[in-house]
Amino acid sequence: MNKPLVAVLGASPKPERYSNQALRLLMAMGYAVIPVNPGQDRIEGLAVTKRLGEIAEPVHTLTVYVNGPAFDRLLPEVLALKPDRVIFNPGAEAPGSYARLEAAGIAVEEACTLVLLRTGQF
């Protein structure tokens, strides 16, 4: 069985960044991963998508590593992408967007992707 597609919003090429660690752990666990960052071309060997609107495949999980105001600006693209869920990692919370996401049928979770993966809760 194929694992669901995960988009990493705010993916970083820097190995010490949590977004990069999550990207690597997702790949190691067999997930298909799309890094999203307008300022990068490749991260961990993967082609980087510049904008959420460029993703054509259905995304199961969008894991967020951008701050709340940046996410709020991207909310229309997230709603158009319509992932099954959005995980807001510590420091990336955007509570002003949660009601609109939930109204669109998108599950909202404030959690650490790394912890969810390491504890089998992802």
Three-point CA angle 37, 39, 45, nearest 5°: 65
Amino acid at 96: G
| Domain assignment present for 38 | yes
Confidence of residue 1 (pLDDT cuts 50, 70, 90): low
SS3 64: strand
Q: How many independent structural domains does the chain possess?
A: 1
Predicted pLDDT at 2: 78
8 pLDDT higher than 60: yes
Tell me which residue has tokens 């460029």. 54
* Residue 70, amino acid: A
Q: d(Cα 103, Cα 116) in Å, to the nearest integer?
A: 24
pLDDT 10s digits, 85-103: 999 999 999 999 999 999 9
Residue 48 located in a structural domain:
yes
pLDDT average, residue stretch 42-53: 97
Give the pLDDT band of residue 21 (cuts 50, 70, 90).
very high
Q: Is the dihedral of CA 55, 58, 81, 89 positive or negative?
A: negative
CATH, residue 19? 3.40.50.720
Question: Looking up tokens 């199961």, which residue turns up?
Answer: 60
- At 20, is the pLDDT very low, low, confident or very high (cuts 50, 70, 90)? very high
Domain that holds residue 25: 9-103
- The yes-or-no verdict on residue 83 having pLDDT over 80 is yes
Q: Is residue 110 part of a domain?
A: no
Terminal-residue alpha carbon distance, the chain: 16
